[in-house]
Structure 1
Amino acid sequence: MALSLYHHSILLSCFLLLKTGVHVESKRVPAIIVFGDSTVDAGNNNPLPTISKSNFAPYGRDLEGGKATGRFSNGRIATDFISEAFGNKPLVPAYLDSSYGIEDFATGVTFASAGTGFDNKTAAVTSVIPLWKEVEYFKDYKTRLATLLGRKAAAETIRDAVYIISIGTNDFAINYFALPDRSLHFTLEEYENFLIGIANNFMVELYRLGARKISLGGLPPIGCLPIIRTLDPGHACIEEFNTLARKFDLKLKSLAAKLRGELQGSKVVFSNIYYQAMDVIQKPSLYGFENVKNGCCGSGRFEVSYLCHRSNPLTCKDASKYAFWDSVHPSEKLHFIVANNMMKTSLAEFV
């Protein structure tokens, strides 16, 4: 079953390329370089002493070979589909995965860490990699890439690569609203602006290090995540969280526009994933989904990471019918839909 679904996902990727009219020469987009949290982590947390892991079954069950790589999904994630759509490999490897080397990372790499956020305190909650450390790994990557390709070719790769950033949900979900420290010292508005300041500095630093094509991703409809729905007696989306996501997205969009004007030669875009995900949630049958309220794993209401395990008899048989894989993360199919939408909209400029 895993092998057939993998082949199915390859066909979907080919459809993505045809539908978007993308006929990419690899020289134009030589690499996909990723920063962020569990939405784009491919296994950087595997060697860490943290509960924010997914390198065990049933995670990855629909990847070729059914291997749990550390992706928080039943299969591939959005950045994998994006990489393939740009003419590169179908799996973007994690920088801390020892089974890969710099030769593998030369055409794509993710520094993302599940559980992290813009705020250092968010990463500290589950002892994962803070955003500043992801940048340090990127600096190390640049040095290794120069050794592999030579300084000139490496600089060209860094300049022409597409940078995908997906981060921010954890700052609210597992930090501001779950713990007292930040909420005692910041109003919600102040905390949002605090995060925007960090995002600004982070992106300026990426630019200083050579990045030019940068996609700043927005938040999903947080209030419709299965684990958040459990807070409502009727298991409905919680509008308070969705309003927050839309509001913060507007600030991220404004930041992207500001930086595009300030950073000479840059192409900074804002990738809005909220409305595509919400369309799926509101019109599931249009996309072939049967369940958008629960994750496939277990009861689908609270299981994530170690609570999502292979022995749970409630885990669904066909994850393609579910928008969510566990109580927080999209299924492979929803990841594809989001990636497809990004290729047709914000990322189309980089083609």
Structure 2
Amino acid sequence: MASSQSLTTPCLRGRAHAPCCRFVRALLVATAAALVVVVVHADGATTTTAAAGGSAAATDDHQRPKIPAIFMFGDSIVDPGNNNNRFTEAKANFPPYGQDFPGGVATGRFSNGLVPGDLLASKLGIKELLPPFLSSDLELKDLLTGVAFACGGSGYDPLTSKLATTLSSDDQLELFQDYKQKLTTLVGEKEMTQVISQGVFFTVMGSNDIVNNYFTLPIRRHEYDLPSYVDFLVSSAINFTKTLNDMGAKNIAFLGVPPLGCCPSQITLGGSPSRQCEPSRNQASQLYNSRVSKEIERLNAERSASGSKIVYFDIYYNLLDLIQNPASYGFKDVSEGCCGSTVLNAAVFIAYHSACPNAIDYIFWDGFHPTEKAYNIVVDKLIQQGSKYLMM
């Protein structure tokens, strides 16, 4: 079937860059003789071991297979527009979102321009944009090279998506199953399986669970103390990752949560007169990252024999470095959002509002989401981190 064929994907019921190439290729183990198990912990420490029968020696770039596709699961940080046709407040397909996107179009991306999935796809040389799976104009080439299933407002806690009237993490797995069936119909099971097994899967969730359910709307705080809720989230995240692996995803990059207390909206809620990061939210972020990284390491050890590679990546300190050293990266404003700094300065609540004209000076675009410039720096840090620790 020609690659230009247009595909309609109905919504389920209610529901440049050598370092980067090295990073993602290092995740792939289908043709590699050695398997290196690496976890980058939240405190910056690493654990590196060689699996049985392998060694920590890296193979030459030319011996690694080409990455056919990347896939993205997660929340609004990596949602490129899957919520556009849903009745939810967690959407961004209107100005001022997209003011710096090519053509100045608001596509549903929660930023002034590109989001991490786009940047990864571009830096890998796969394609310029990572499209939403629920787009009505997907083409075969889009399916072959990867899509995003992420939805704004989602999380590992089922309550999170209910509050935001969006798709849950389990719903995103159903979208993935729908994707597999659609691709099988178009190109056959063998090629579908190859795309899935050689593709790289990113999962970016957890922030909404902590911020919305435990702090902003303290629903879960009435049921759990913080360590107990974190344990619940970690268990849910690991179950999600196991299911994704069982569905054929061999190479999974699991991202922790950022310093949530440094988001402008959370600083505002914390009430710091000097606009300092809110400490309890950052402590919650660190606790979650610490516990989930250990479980990802354990899961990777359990499943490495089957050819899977599941790696935890810390983004907490990547973003915190921008916040603590803004001048080094060309930023002037650390604690305010270009579109405002409260929980009501994001998503539908700022539809058609004006934004600051100099987004390049800001780390944060709205009360929660970074600017494209900040995303770009964090993605580059992620790439360097992956290249350094996975190429040993």
> What is the TM-score normalised by the length of structure 2?
0.81
Q: Secondary structure at the match of 2:336?
A: strand
Report if aligned partners of 2:272, 2:278 keep a CA contact under 8 Å in 1: no
The answer to whether the aligner puts 1:294 opposite 2:294 as a matched pair is: no
Report if aligned partners of 1:294, 1:301 keep a CA contact under 8 Å in 2: no
CA displacement at 1:105 relative to structure 2: 2.4
Identify the residue that residue 268 of structure 1 maps to in structure 2.
Answer: 310
Q: CA-atom RMSD, angstroms?
A: 2.0
Q: Distance in 1 between matches of 2:312 and 2:353?
A: 40
Identify the residue that residue 109 of structure 1 maps to in structure 2.
Answer: 147
Partner AA of 2:145 in structure 1: T
Larger Rg: 2
Q: Distance in 1 between matches of 2:21 and 2:93?
A: 35
Residue 193 and residue 21 in structure 1: after superposition, are their counterparts in 2 closer, same or farther (change >3 A)? closer
Which of the residues 292, 299, 308 maps onto 1:252? Answer: 292
Which of the residues 186, 198, 208 maps onto 1:148? Answer: 186
The answer to whether the aligner puts 1:35 opposite 2:73 as a matched pair is: yes
The answer to whether the aligner puts 1:160 opposite 2:193 as a matched pair is: no
The answer to whether the aligner puts 1:139 opposite 2:177 as a matched pair is: yes
Q: Distance in 2 between matches of 1:276 and 1:145?
A: 36
The answer to whether the aligner puts 1:233 opposite 2:275 as a matched pair is: no
Q: Distance in 2 between matches of 1:152 and 1:256?
A: 29
Q: Secondary structure at the match of 1:109?
A: coil
The answer to whether the aligner puts 1:282 opposite 2:320 as a matched pair is: no
Q: Which segment is superposed worse, 79-88 or 28-37?
A: 79-88
Q: Distance in 1 between matches of 2:22 and 2:217?
A: 44
Q: Distance in 2 between matches of 1:87 and 1:61?
A: 24
CA displacement at 1:274 relative to structure 2: 0.6
Identify the residue that residue 198 of structure 1 maps to in structure 2.
Answer: 236
Residue 226 and residue 179 in structure 1: after superposition, are their counterparts in 2 closer, same or farther (change >3 A)? closer
Q: Distance in 1 between matches of 2:195 and 2:75?
A: 24
The alignment of Structure 1 onto Structure 2 pairs a total of residues equal to: 333
Report if aligned partners of 1:93, 1:105 keep a CA contact under 8 Å in 2: no
Aligned ranges 1:79-90 → 2 under 5 Å = 79-90=117-128
Partner AA of 1:334 in structure 2: A
Residue 21 and residue 170 in structure 1: after superposition, are their counterparts in 2 closer, same or farther (change >3 A)? closer
CA displacement at 1:18 relative to structure 2: 4.9
Q: Which segment is superposed worse, 219-228 or 236-245?
A: 236-245
Identify the residue that residue 306 of structure 1 maps to in structure 2.
Answer: 348
The answer to whether the aligner puts 1:335 opposite 2:375 as a matched pair is: yes
Q: For structure 2, list consecutive stretches of 5 or more residues without a partner in the other structure.
A: 1-15, 26-61
Q: Distance in 2 between matches of 1:154 and 1:76?
A: 28
CA displacement at 1:269 relative to structure 2: 0.8
Partner AA of 2:227 in structure 1: E
Identify the residue that residue 3 of structure 2 maps to in structure 1.
Answer: none
Identify the residue that residue 226 of structure 2 maps to in structure 1.
Answer: 188
Residue 190 and residue 311 in structure 1: after superposition, are their counterparts in 2 closer, same or farther (change >3 A)? closer
Question: Which ranges of 4 or more aligned residues in structure 1 deviate by more than 6 Å?
Answer: 23-26
Q: Distance in 1 between matches of 2:107 and 2:387?
A: 26
Q: Secondary structure at the match of 1:177?
A: helix
Q: Distance in 2 between matches of 1:21 and 1:181?
A: 42
Q: Distance in 2 between matches of 1:177 and 1:291?
A: 25
Residue 106 and residue 321 in structure 1: after superposition, are their counterparts in 2 closer, same or farther (change >3 A)? same
Q: Distance in 2 between matches of 1:307 and 1:273?
A: 27
CA displacement at 1:301 relative to structure 2: 4.0
Partner AA of 1:289 in structure 2: F
> What is the TM-score normalised by the length of structure 1?
0.90
Partner AA of 1:240 in structure 2: S
Identify the residue that residue 9 of structure 1 maps to in structure 2.
Answer: none
Q: Distance in 1 between matches of 2:308 and 2:210?
A: 29
Q: For structure 1, list consecutive stretches of 5 or more residues without a partner in the other structure.
A: 1-13
Q: Distance in 2 between matches of 1:259 and 1:186?
A: 25
Report if aligned partners of 2:230, 2:287 keep a CA contact under 8 Å in 1: no
Identify the residue that residue 257 of structure 2 maps to in structure 1.
Answer: 219
Q: Distance in 2 between matches of 1:347 and 1:186?
A: 38
Report if aligned partners of 1:43, 1:94 keep a CA contact under 8 Å in 2: yes
CA displacement at 1:183 relative to structure 2: 1.8
Q: Distance in 1 between matches of 2:121 and 2:19?
A: 16
Q: Secondary structure at the match of 2:147?
A: strand
